[in-house]
Structure 1
Amino acid sequence: MKGKCKVTFVALVVVILLGLLIWILVRPVKIVAVHKKGEFASVLVENFPLSDRGKMNWWLKNQKTLTEQYGIPAPAKDSYFYVTFWKFGDGYKEEGKYDRLCFDDMKPPKNCIEKDAVFSVSHSRNLGTVFTTYEGRYKLQENGEIVAYKSTFEAR
C-alpha cells in the first residue's frame, strides 16, 4: 500500500509540474507600455517567451500588430530602428540611487524601471534585421532564415 501511495504522489507531482510548464510556455505576452523616442522604442512586457527562438518568432508574428497598435518600429529616414523589450517586473519605481531606466515621457517620481532587457531588435541598411538576446545575436536573412550572427568589428 505504501508503494502505491508513493507512485500516486510522484505521478501527481509530475502532472502538476507539467501543467505549470505548459502554462508558462503558452501564456500570452502582455505589453504593459511603450515608450518612444525617435527611432528608438522601449516596450515593457510581462510573460515574454523564454527561448531565443520563441522571442524571435514572437517578433516576426507580431511585428504588424506592433506597428498598427503602437507605432513601432518607427524607422528613421535611413530605415534604422532599435526596439528593446524590457521585463516590467515590479512596475514603475522612483529613480533612487539605483541605475534604473527612466522615461522622459512620464512625470517623476515613478517613471523608472529596473534595467532587465529580455530582447532587442535593430534594423539598418547595412546589416538588415538583427536580434539580440541573452544568448547571442542573430540575423534575419533575406530568405527568412534566422542565423547566428557574429560581428567582425573589433574595438582597439
Structure 2
Amino acid sequence: MKTKIKKNLYTLLLVAVGIFGYFIWLSLRPVEIVAVHQDGNSSDVLVKNFPFTDKGKMSWWLKNKNMFKDKYNIPQPEKDGNFTVIFWLFGDGYKETDGYDRLCFDDMHPPLNCIDKNRVFSANHSRNMGISFNTSRGIYRMKKNGQIAKDKAE
C-alpha cells in the first residue's frame, strides 16, 4: 500500500513541477511586437507573449516606453498631453472583417486588416488624471512619486 501512495505522490510532484516549469517558461519569453497602428493620439500595438500579471504588464511598459517613442514614435499625445496606447494579443493574425466585433485598421487595405478583439493592457495619460494603466483586473494609477496603486473605485 505504501508503495502505491509513494508512486502517486511522485507522479503528482512530477506533474506539478512540469506545470510550474511551463509557466516559468511562458513568463520568460520575450514580448513580440507584431505591428503598431496609429490613429491620432491613440495607438494600437499588436503583441504576442505579453506578460500575464498586472505588475508584469506595467513594469514591461515602463521599461519599454522610451523604445516605443524612439522606434515607433508613440505615444503621440494631443496638445494637452492626452494619449492612449492599447495592447492587443495578435492571436491568429489579421482577418477579414466580420462586420461586427473585430477591430479593423484603416491604415491597411482590406480584406485582411482586422483582428479579434483581445485587449490585454492599455497605458493612458490625461491632464486631470495623470498616467493610468488598464488591465482585466482593474485600473491602476501612477502617483506623482512614481508609485503605482490600484484604483479604489474598482
**TM-score using structure 2 length:** 0.90
Q: Write the mapping of 1:45-124 to structure 2, written as runs, cut at 5 A.
A: 45-124=47-126
Aligned residue pairs: how many?
Answer: 151
Supply the distance in 2 between the matched residues of 1:33 and 1:130 (Cα, whole angstroms). Answer: 23
Q: Which residue identity is paired with 2:15?
A: V
Q: State the 4+ residue runs in structure 1 displaced beyond 2 angstroms.
A: 1-12
Supply the distance in 2 between the matched residues of 1:148 and 1:62 (Cα, whole angstroms). Answer: 21
Aligned match of 2:148: 146
Provide, for residues 90-136 of structure 1, a one-character-per-residue CA deviation record: whole Å limited to 9, x for no partner: 11100024311100010100000111111111111111101111111
Aligned match of 1:132: 134
Q: What percentage of residue pairs aligned between the two structures are identical?
A: 53
Task: Give SS of 2:15's match.
Answer: helix
Q: Unpaired runs of 5+ in structure 1?
A: 152-156
Q: Which residue identity is paired with 2:45?
A: V
Task: Give SS of 2:107's match.
Answer: coil
Task: Give SS of 2:113's match.
Answer: strand
Kindly report the root-mean-square deviation, in angstroms, between the aligned alpha carbons of the 2 structures: 1.6
Structure 1 residue 12: Cα displacement: 2.3
Task: Give SS of 1:57's match.
Answer: helix
Supply the distance in 2 between the matched residues of 1:10 and 1:147 (Cα, whole angstroms). Answer: 38
Structure 1 residue 47: Cα displacement: 1.0
Aligned match of 1:15: 17
Aligned match of 2:29: 27
**TM-score using structure 1 length:** 0.89
Q: Unpaired runs of 5+ in structure 2?
A: none
Supply the distance in 2 between the matched residues of 1:136 and 1:10 (Cα, whole angstroms). Answer: 34
Task: Give SS of 2:34's match.
Answer: strand
Task: Give SS of 2:61's match.
Answer: helix
Structure 1 residue 25: Cα displacement: 1.5
Supply the distance in 1 between the matched residues of 2:100 and 2:91 (Cα, whole angstroms). Answer: 15
